[in-house]
Amino acid sequence: MEESVKKLTAETEAKISECVEKADLNAIRVRVLGKNGELTALLKSMKDLPPEKRPEAGKIVNAAREKLEQAIAARQAELERLELAKRLREEKIDISIDIRPPASGGLHPLTIMRSRITEFFSSLGFVIADSPEIETDYYNFEALNIPADHPAREMQDTFFITENILLRSQTSAGQVRMMEKVKPPIKMLSPGRVFRADEADATHSPVFHQVEGLVVDKGITMCDLKGILDLFAKKFFGENTKTRFRPSYFPFTEPSVEVDASCSQCGGKGCRVCKGTGWIEILGAGMVNRNVLKTCGINPDEYTGFAFGVGLDRITNIIFGINSMRTVFENDVRFLKQFN
């Protein structure tokens, strides 16, 4: 009996360790350990033994059963491990392949830049305001200290609808509307679309965008203008950016300045971007002309203010390195995707 158990155990163990299929393993289990299995048969045959030997024989058989069950379980686990390893091996893919990304959509670069600028000024207490694109001569010129004979009318070739109605040539038109409605303290930012009769080329477009800023309060100085524009330049062109004021002329400000930022490409040494000057013209600004304040019913002896006008398209092109105004309005999808 004992011999038979030993033999069966040894044979079965050998089969288990050779087994490579889970199904075969199961077959072994049924054949040896099943209800009619070989080991079960040996157990059953115990009834032929003398009663005093039965407990001993029972122990031997049960020990063999336990041993074989463990061996089967171990083999089972091993086979599963191999099977998983094989599956993982077979499922390997070529990770170098790219597929089209999900269409995520995105904003036009002008909108992206406009949002950044409005957020910046909004955080400094500026109210963002909008005003009409089709304007009267009064708001676009007259109230901005540009009477009919003024040479500044020549500076800007304006599109006219009637003798008195035109496409605004500057967002400054919105200044006057604001100051008519709201009295100081005023901190306003007016981004918008403007129009000038310029043929479209790399640097011109008959449609473009400005962001007009206006501050009117008691004791506002040119140094305050410098302060806010310094902040602006640092925010948009980098922490080390410096600004420079150059005298200029706008009818609605006095004194008037052009503002240059040190070239962020070369740090002011001179490069292709700044045409070797080390400076990039970013905006026009000045102290609000007394006549403009008066026209809007604000006492210029009590209040002073400053105004500035940023060319949104220009800033966008500088920041994103876009080299032609035409590209901006062409709206090629391959262009649009680059900013999002």
Partner 1 sequence: MKLPISWLNEYVSTDGITPKELADKLLNIGFEVEEIIYMGDGIEKVVAGKILEITKHPDADKLSVCKVDVGEEKVTIVTGAKNIAIGNTVPVALDGATLPNGVRITAAPLRGIMSYGMMCSGAELGVDNNVIEGADVNGILILPEITPGSDIKDVLRLNETVLDISVTANRPDCQCVYGMAREIAAMLGKKLKPLHLNYKSISFEQTPTVEIKDDACSRYTCNVISDVKIRKSPDWLRDRLRYVGIRSINNVVDITNYVLMEVGQPLHAFDTSFVSQLGIIVRKASNGEQITALDERTYTLNDSMLVIADNEKPLAIAGVMGGEYSGITDTTKTVLLESARFSKGNVRATSRALGLRSDSSARYEKGVDYASVDVGRERALALFHQLKAGKVTTSFAAANRAKPQPKTVRTSAKKISELLGIDVKPNVIAKILKGLEFKVEIDGDSITAQAPLFREDIENYTDLAEEVIRFYGYDNIKSTFMSTAKTTAGGTDVRQKNIDFLKTLACNFGAYEISTYSFISKKAASQLILPQNSELRNQIEILNPLSDEYCVMRTQLASSMLNVVAHNFSKKNKEFRLFEVGKTYIARELPLKELPDERDTLIMAFTGEHESFYTVKSAVSEILRRFAIHPEQAEYGKKSYYHPGISCDYYINGENFCSFGKLHPSVAKNFGIADDVYICEMDLSGFISAEIPNVKFAPLPKYQTVERDLAVIVREEVPAGDIIKTARHADPLCIHAELFDIYRGEQIEAGHKSVALSFILSSPDKTLTDEEITTAFNNVLSSLEREYGAKLR
Chain residues 91-150 in contact with partner 1, contact rule CB under 8 A: 102-108, 110-111, 115, 118, 121-130, 132-136, 148-150
Contact 262, 230 (CB under 8 A): no
Q: Is the dihedral of CA 195, 196, 199, 205 positive or negative?
A: negative
Minimum CB–partner distance for residue 21 and partner 1 (Å): 43
With respect to partner 1, which residue has the nearer C-beta, 15 or 226?
Answer: 226
* 4 lines the binding site for partner 1 (CB under 8 A): no
Restricting to residues 217-236, which ones interact with partner 1 according to CB under 8 A?
Answer: 217-224, 226-228, 230-231
- Is residue 24 at the binding interface for partner 1, with CB under 8 A as the rule? no
Q: Which stretch binds partner 1 (CB under 8 A): 47-55, 68-76, 173-181, 287-295?
A: 287-295
DSSP of 15-73, one letter per residue?
HHHH--SHHHHHHHHHHHHSTT-HHHHHHHGGGGS-GGGHHHHHHHHHHHHHHHHHHHH
Q: Which stretch binds partner 1 (CB under 8 A): 6-14, 73-81, 170-178, 254-262?
A: 254-262
Q: Which of 250, 143, 122, 236 is nearest to 189 (CA)?
A: 122
3-class DSSP state of 111: helix
How many residues would you count in the chain? 340
The residue among 61 and 307 lying less far from partner 1, judged by its C-beta, is 307
Residue 320 binds partner 1, judged by CB under 8 A: no
Output 51 or 102, the one with its CB closest to partner 1: 102
CB of 8 to partner 1, least distance (A): 56
Residue 334 touches partner 1, criterion: CB under 8 A: yes
- Residue 232: CB partners within 8 Å, gap ≥ 6? 120
| Smallest gap from residue 297 Cβ to partner 1 (A) | 18
Point out which span in 9-17, 65-73, 243-251, 268-276 binds partner 1 (CB under 8 A).
243-251
Place of tokens 């398209």: 313
Neighbours of 130 (CB within 10 A): 11
Helix (H) or strand (E) holding 129: none
Reduced to 3 states (helix: H, G, I; strand: E, B; else coil), residue 101 is coil
Amino acid at 210: Q
Residue number with CB closer to partner 1 (12 or 289):
289
Decide if residue 307 touches partner 1 (CB under 8 A): no
Does position 299 interact with partner 1 (CB under 8 A)? The reply is no
Q: Rounded CA gap, 31 and 12, in Å? A: 10
- Told to check if 340 binds partner 1 by CB under 8 A, we report yes
Q: Which is nearer to partner 1, 84 or 165 (CB)?
A: 165
Residues between 155 and 214 with contacts to partner 1, criterion CB under 8 A: 155, 159-162, 165, 167, 185-187, 193, 195, 197, 199, 206-207
Beta carbons of 170 and 193 less than 8 angstroms apart: no
In the region spanning residues 256 to 275, those forming contacts with partner 1, defined by CB under 8 A, are 256-257
Q: Tokens 């069950």 belong to which residue?
A: 69
